[in-house]
Amino acid sequence: MDGPSPGRREVARPAACVVGVGSALPERVLTNLQLMEMVDTSDDWIVSRTGIRERRIAAEGEFTSHLAERAARQALDNAGLTPADIDLIVLATATPDNTFPSTAVAVQERLGMKTGAAFDVAAVCSGFVYALTTANALIATGTARRALVIGAETFSRILDWSDRTTCVLFGDGAGAVVLEANGATNGSASGTPRGIIASSLRSDGAHRDKLFVDGGPSSTRSVGHLRMRGQEVFRFAIGATVDVVEDVMAKAGITAQDIDWFVPHQANKRIIDASARKLGIDEKKVVLTVERHGNTSAASIPLALSQASADGRIKKGDLVLLEAMGGGFTWGAVLVRW
């Protein structure tokens, strides 16, 4: 018999729906072989521990806001909208152009937006799921109608290029989605409502010394470099992923078998594989970009969404699970009917 399984909860109609997606990468590719000329490492070590083969590096004068603007314009084109249609920008980044004003207002100005509000969200690699949840909540309360939600980073600027334990892992890039209040047109005709179905956000500052930047305006008056206790991050990541994913699945009344696409933060293929296995998600449903992009922090999920929707894998009506974990620690998941 069709219909919800016993024990499943009715979920309220989603407030907002993804109507466009875009991304941007710097032109310069940095391969593992090129990294071997910079630090004592090997292609074999990097690929076997992380799955990463290459990453992109922003050009001199190419800022986080430039990548964000390109991704935003592509998402708007994809949605068939213009900047004038947007009344909110929420931009997730840990590598802003300046301490202030926000990178979001730089993007707002470049897009020629004269109205609406723009601000940054700081949750490092979990930034995109935090930003998406925030924008969704602002739409749900009627504060905004159409939002650009952007993840954009230039981690190459905060890496210690002499530290082989971190510099091989990260890259630069940006991705964006357009989130629109659900009106008569966005609810799918087939009866399955499209949009953001459930979110789960977590943080625990007790772990803030395990993945951090050793500088800042208030503490050192400098920018600092990324530092990480890799094994401790690795150990925490899988449990954290399972924690928030199980929470959103319970909120939505679904099981892992219902998910069409799992789009996790692209930190490390081993973490992604182990999390998918533990959750019982088929590896064919996992979107992977870490091989070509490295870890682009807040940009990694929207970059992966952009790729998998451009190549026809993610389609309207698919159930898409987003998940991330990062510095803080912060972690979170969002379930979207695409």
145 or 164: whose CB is closer to ligand COA? Answer: 164
Rounded-to-integer distance, Cα 287 and Cα 259, Å: 12
Query: 3-class DSSP state for residue 32?
Result: helix
Rounded-to-integer distance, Cα 84 and Cα 95, Å: 27
DSSP H helices in the chain: 32-35, 43-50, 64-79, 103-110, 127-140, 164-167, 230-252, 269-279, 290-293, 300-310
When binding is defined by CB under 6 A, the residue of 15, 43, 49, 122 that contacts ligand COA is: 49
When binding is defined by CB under 6 A, the residue of 11, 15, 29, 41 that contacts ligand COA is: 41
By CB under 6 A, what part of segment 269-298 binds ligand COA? Answer: 271, 295
**By CB under 6 A, is residue 163 in contact with ligand COA?**
no
Residues making up the chain, counted from first to last: 338
The stretch among 8-16, 40-48, 112-120, 303-311 that binds ligand COA (CB under 6 A) is 40-48
**By CB under 6 A, is residue 267 in contact with ligand COA?**
yes
Is 295 among the catalytic positions? yes
**By CB under 6 A, is residue 36 in contact with ligand COA?**
no
Q: What is the three-state SS of 90-150?
A: EEECCCCCCCCCCHHHHHHHHCCCCCCEEEEECCHHHHHHHHHHHHHHHHHCCCCCEEEEE
When binding is defined by CB under 6 A, the residue of 50, 108, 266, 296 that contacts ligand COA is: 50
211 touches 229 (CB < 8 A): yes
101 touches 219 (CB < 8 A): no
**By CB under 6 A, is residue 158 in contact with ligand COA?**
no
Report the 10 Å Cβ neighbour count for 310.
14
Q: Which of 32, 125, 182, 225 is catalytic?
A: 125
Is 265 among the catalytic positions? yes
41 or 186: whose CB is closer to ligand COA? Answer: 41
The stretch among 115-123, 223-231, 245-253, 275-283 that binds ligand COA (CB under 6 A) is 223-231
**By CB under 6 A, is residue 165 in contact with ligand COA?**
yes
Q: Which of 167, 265, 268, 293 is catalytic?
A: 265
By CB under 6 A, what part of segment 228-257 binds ligand COA? Answer: 228, 230-231, 233-234
